[in-house]
Amino acid sequence: MNNYHQNEDAGKFSWEEKEIDSIRLTMDDRSEILRYVGYSGQPLTDEFESQLQICMEKVNAVAQPRLIATLFQCEPVVVGDVIVEYKWPESLNFLTGEDIHTHLKECREVLLFGATIGASIDRAIRVEEMREPVHALLMDACGSTLIESVCDHFEAILRRRYRDGEEHWHLTTRFSPGYGDLPLEIQNHYADVIEARRIGLTVTPEHIMIPRKSVTAIIGIADHEIGEKHRSCDSCNMNAHCRFRKHGVLCGE
């Protein structure tokens, strides 16, 4: 892997911007949106379908997906001629707790990213709260779905790139501040480390990300398969419209 910039132990990770910036909700995202609003198979009226359609379009119109990432190199610790562990660069020491260490245990590289679909959607939802509360609820669900979609697409791009790279490396799943014992309190420093301001992503003193529809997540990269084997596609409820398979990869690859 050398198609990224290495500067000492940290560098900007990059990609074709329009691959991320152009992501929008599609009909494939409908079921996920419905899940966010507690749908469990009730009959849907035409009226509701058209409201959902309007809300998806409104969100697509104002969304501005942006993503920024920094890639860190870990230092192999060699005993004899065996690599016994990978040592994190000092800049990653703010990632505290056992869980993230376990998650990234065998990784040679660690990628920190932040993604957002922008501030305009927050404003649009606010306006809708006053005009049409149902639309506000649906647009909120649309926003949550879209930011997940952005993260999935990015992860898929990443997986494809590493898999197809010379060394066929493997990725862990995404791990976000607030998961397990990785405290939410690191969010502010995290944002500084990845220079989240460049995509308009900010964190309040209470560690909440604004714009609201934003995600930070960590992915580890190893030279061998790690963790559990990927789930069976057959049992996955995203099977019919998997974002990963669109990029020719599997989510656990």
Instruction: Give the distance between the most distant pair of CA atoms in the chain.
Output: 69
Closest approach, Cβ 30 to other proteins, in A, equals: 13
C-beta of 66 vs 243, nearer to other proteins: 66
C-beta of 10 vs 222, nearer to other proteins: 10
Interhelix angle 46-62/120-131, nearest 10 degrees: 150
C-beta of 185 vs 225, nearer to other proteins: 185
Closest approach, Cβ 210 to other proteins, in A, equals: 5
Closest approach, Cβ 173 to other proteins, in A, equals: 22
Determine if residue 138 is left, alpha or beta; phi over 0 gives left, psi from -120 to 50 gives alpha, anything else beta. alpha
Closest approach, Cβ 15 to other proteins, in A, equals: 5
Residue that has been written with the tokens 């949550």 in this structure: 144
C-beta of 4 vs 242, nearer to other proteins: 4
**Tally of CB atoms within 10 A around 24:** 17
C-alpha closest to that of 141 among 38, 69, 66, 23: 38
Closest approach, Cβ 224 to other proteins, in A, equals: 25
Question: Which residues, 6 or more positions from 83, have their beta carbon under 8 angstroms from its beta carbon?
Answer: 76, 77
C-beta of 144 vs 172, nearer to other proteins: 144
Classify residue 3 by its DSSP letter.
S
Residue ranges binding other proteins (CB under 8 A): 3-5, 7, 10-17, 37-40, 42, 45, 47-48, 51, 64, 70, 90-91, 94, 118-120, 122-123, 125-127, 129-134, 136-138, 140, 178, 184-185, 189-190, 192-195, 197-200, 202-208, 210-212
Q: At 203, is the secondary structure helix, strand, or coil? A: strand
Q: Residue 179 corresponds to which tokens in the numbers above?
A: 């998961």
Question: Which residues, 6 or more positions from 1, have their beta carbon under 8 angstroms from its beta carbon?
Answer: 109, 161, 162, 165, 166, 167, 169
Closest approach, Cβ 4 to other proteins, in A, equals: 5
C-beta of 95 vs 226, nearer to other proteins: 95
**Tally of CB atoms within 10 A around 60:** 16
